[in-house]
Amino acid sequence: MTTLVLEINEARPVAARCDDAQLHVTLADGREISTPLWWYPRLLAASSVQRNAIELMPMGLHWPELDEDISIASMIRGEKAPGAIPA
């Protein structure tokens, strides 16, 4: 079993945005990670305005209007939301 250890301060999101196909996050240490929107059915079904109404949290992202939360650790591990269907 592999264990993922993240330094919370270094892996803290400092910017996030969605385009039509990807969720892009910039971390405090300068890394940028992107994951496909099809991993997150709620985001995929949302409007561009809803997708980009993102609250940055110490360990992830929150979309209040969509009731969606995504952790940085889950993005790095490649975890998809339940119901994710490849595009």
pLDDT of residue 86: 87
pLDDT of residue 15: 98
Spans of the chain, pLDDT less than 70 = 1-9
Give the CB-side neighbour count of residue 71, counting CA atoms within 13 A.
9
Output the six-digit token pair for 63.
């979309």
pLDDT of residue 11: 86
pLDDT of residue 78: 95
Asked if 50 and 64 count as a contact pair (C-beta separation under 8 A), the reply is no
* CATH class entry, domain 13-77: alpha beta
pTM given for the model = 0.87
pLDDT of residue 16: 98
